[in-house]
Amino acid sequence: MADDLVLDTAIRNWVLVPLSVVMVLIGVLRYFVSKLIRSSQNPDTKAIKEGQAVIRARNLRSAAHLIPSKSFRSRRIYFTNEENGLLYVPKEEAQKAQAQMFQDPNMAMDMMKKNLSMIIPQTLTFAWVNFFFSGFVAAKIPFPLTPRFRSMLQNGIDLSTVDVSYVSSRSWYFLNLFGLRGFFSLILGEENATDDAQRMMQMSGGGFGFDPSKSLGAEKDSLDIIQHEWALPKMEHRAQDVLKNLAKKL
């Protein structure tokens, strides 16, 4: 009895297809609305300067063995000296910068706008699905799941003998939610990869200036730690070894 229920064609016509169509349309709408709403964010000069200084210091660290000692030391002093080194941040300024970041109204507004544009359509659609399409079996998923998923997938169906593969429309909604991301990336171009990815990327881009003092301090410490060793004197030995190995192989 639990296998092969035959479901009414009307369910397919009036539940599955409209739900998918609605979700696709809402996604397209959200994409255009977010394009319209997005205000051009003027990047913060100070944060960018600090970020670039950190990048320069990192490059210096990784290529330290390629320049002679004196040049390395002079570069290091440029970055880390106490008076006007790029990476040196006095303690009070650090506190002020952090407090400012937290109260910055622009950043808060932008994050709120992004969150809203993601959350509201999802909430509305979920409520709509729950209201209209509950209480019946909507689809059968082709793979079996453990009975623990029953409460999650079959919320409107009160029979416990029905196979867990027969799910309600709420799970069809979730399936669509995750599965249509790929579809959107096909039809809307690459830039709309929904919710989490973009938010995280922008947070990491904006979060770069979020804790400048910590990253600057960390870079300064790691620069101070480095023992400089110039690779040029050893270069002849290295060339010799490489050639020896080659000669052996031949």
Partner 1 sequence: MINVFTTMISHITLSLFCFNFWCCSRTFLSIIGGVIAGIWGFTGFTGFVFYFVVMLAASFGLAAKAKFSADSYFDSWNRVLLDGILGGLMSFVLFWTFAYDIVHIF
- Distance, in Å, from the CA atom of 155 to the CA atom of 134, rounded to the nearest integer, reads 8
Residue that the structure tokens 């030995």 belong to: 237
67 vs 188, beta carbon nearer partner 1: 188
Residues 107-166 that bind partner 1 (CB under 8 A): 139-144
R_g (Cα) of the chain, nearest Å: 29
Beta bridge partners of 167: 139
Instruction: Give the CA distances from residue 250 to residues 118, 239, 240, 243, 244, in Å, rounded to whole numbers and listed in that order.
Output: 63, 17, 15, 11, 10
Smallest distance from the beta carbon of 167 to partner 1, in angstroms? 9
Among 117, 134, 155, 185, the residue binding partner 1 under the rule CB under 8 A is 185
Among 2, 12, 77, 115, the residue binding partner 1 under the rule CB under 8 A is 12
> Does 201 participate in binding partner 1 (rule CB under 8 A)?
yes
> Does 178 participate in binding partner 1 (rule CB under 8 A)?
yes
Token reading at 125: 């659609």
> Does 36 participate in binding partner 1 (rule CB under 8 A)?
no
Q: Give the containing element (helix H, strand E) for 36.
A: helix 17-37
Smallest distance from the beta carbon of 22 to partner 1, in angstroms? 15
> Does 90 participate in binding partner 1 (rule CB under 8 A)?
no
Amino acid at 52: Q
> Does 204 participate in binding partner 1 (rule CB under 8 A)?
yes
By CB atoms closer than 10 A (0-12, 13-18, 19+), residue 178 is: exposed
26 half-sphere exposure, CB direction, 13 A CA radius: 23
224 vs 229, beta carbon nearer partner 1: 224
117 vs 228, beta carbon nearer partner 1: 117
> Does 11 participate in binding partner 1 (rule CB under 8 A)?
yes
Chain length of the chain: 250
* Residue range at the interface with partner 1 (CB under 8 A); choices 38-46, 74-82, 128-136, 185-193: 185-193
Count of beta carbons in the 10 Å neighbourhood of residue 128 = 13
* Residue range at the interface with partner 1 (CB under 8 A); choices 8-16, 31-39, 106-114, 120-128: 8-16
CA dihedral sign of residues 208, 213, 214, 219: positive
Among 1, 9, 82, 159, the residue binding partner 1 under the rule CB under 8 A is 9
Q: Which residues lie near partner 1 (CB under 8 A)?
A: 5-9, 11-12, 16, 20, 54, 139-144, 172, 175-176, 178-183, 185-186, 190-191, 193, 196-197, 200-201, 203-204, 207-208, 211, 214-215, 218
